[in-house]
Amino acid sequence: MNKGKQPTIKEIAKRLKISTSTVSRALNDHPSIGLVTTMRVKKLAEELDYEPNRTAIFFKQRKTFTIGVILPSLSEAFFSAAISEIENFASSKNYTVILGQSLDDPERELKIISTMKSHRVDGIILSSAKNTTAFEYIEVLNKAGIPIVFFDCVPDIPNINAIVSNLKTGMFEAVDTFVSCGHKSIAFINGPTHLPASKEREDAFVEALKRNHVDLNRENIVYTDLSEKGNEEAVLKLIHLSERPSAVVSFNDYVTLDAMNAVRSKGLVVNQDIYFISYANYPIWKYMENPPMASIEQLPGEQGANAAQMLFDLIDLNTGDSSDDISAVEGKKIVLESKLVSQHA
């Protein structure tokens, strides 16, 4: 063997004076090859530091054994929990995960999708960027035989595969909790109006007030673009109302962090002058001296695990490794129930 040249099946076959097909079968423990031959082949392969030609294997099996995962931000605790479960599941299938973060930039998101497609990933899991409005790439991926599963931030379009959290159940619990504590003026800091999650949250908020026989004051619903400045401006609108709300449900925990800082800057006391409940259940709350009253758990780990299971079901269908009917999986949506978690003992 030439120095620096990778050993091949042909070289093993030549040295052992057997066929290349026999070597290949022996390396894969094929039952048609005797134990002695298999041991001889594997022993020589180990001595030569033989490594399988992954490209040839990929071509034969029509798989690259990689999946792509695209998230808005890898630094967010929510997505860290999700990716951990996705990687665990992928590892159990002997798959490698390629990560990309869109930073909520639709152009960046599309570029990552295009790159993953050119690298022939076997499937993609995606939490869509908040500002994405065009989803033509779904059809492009379908034509390329690359299934895609959405989770968390899911486009409001039909016939997609998705894992979502039912935001209504958590909102009901949040408003019920505020009402049970005697709050009558309850506000809501919502996200951008174009997001399906924003509409779902707002509809649930309005319904929750109605269920509790609390009058809806439209001034108590404000919006933020989710930037630090936007979050602060939203809560300041509420503070300056003639009837200042005593309780606030906010779009997510990052909005709440900025809102609580703005409240303190005005000399008000969190959990005394104004109480907060928000979505996502940020892990750091338990280390804070005065966290919000509660958080709405959206189960990121379970979302990630379910997204991975769904994607691998689709991959198996695409490569003929499953006997299931593909129509039973395509366009499937799994809904997980959000729930309220108290931040105070």
Per DSSP bridges, beta strands 186-190 and 221-223 are parallel
Q: What would the pLDDT profile of 307-338 be if each residue is shown by its tens digit?
A: 999 999 999 887 666 545 444 456 899 999 99
Question: pLDDT value at position 317?
Answer: 85
Provide, rounded to the nearest whole percent, the portion of the chain with pLDDT above 90.
69
pLDDT > 90? residue 210: yes
105 touches 131 (CB < 8 A):
yes
Question: pLDDT value at position 272?
Answer: 94
Residue 339's nearest CA partner among 276, 301, 297, 294 is 297
CA Rg, the chain, in Å? 26
Q: Encoding tokens for residue 310?
A: 């769904």
248 touches 189 (CB < 8 A):
yes
For the entire predicted model, the pTM comes to: 0.78
* Mean pLDDT, range 158-186, rounded to an integer: 95
User: What structural domains and CATH numbers belong to the chain?
Assistant: 9-52 (no CATH), 64-165+300-335 (3.40.50.2300), 166-297 (3.40.50.2300)
Euclidean distance between CA atoms 135 and 238, whole angstroms? 35
* Mean pLDDT, range 303-307, rounded to an integer: 97
Question: pLDDT value at position 101?
Answer: 96
6 or 131, higher pLDDT? 131
Cα dist from 320 to 55, 117, 253, 315, whole Å: 20, 20, 43, 8
Q: What would the pLDDT profile of 41-90 be if each residue is shown by its tens digit?
A: 899 988 888 877 655 555 555 688 999 999 999 988 899 999 999 999 99
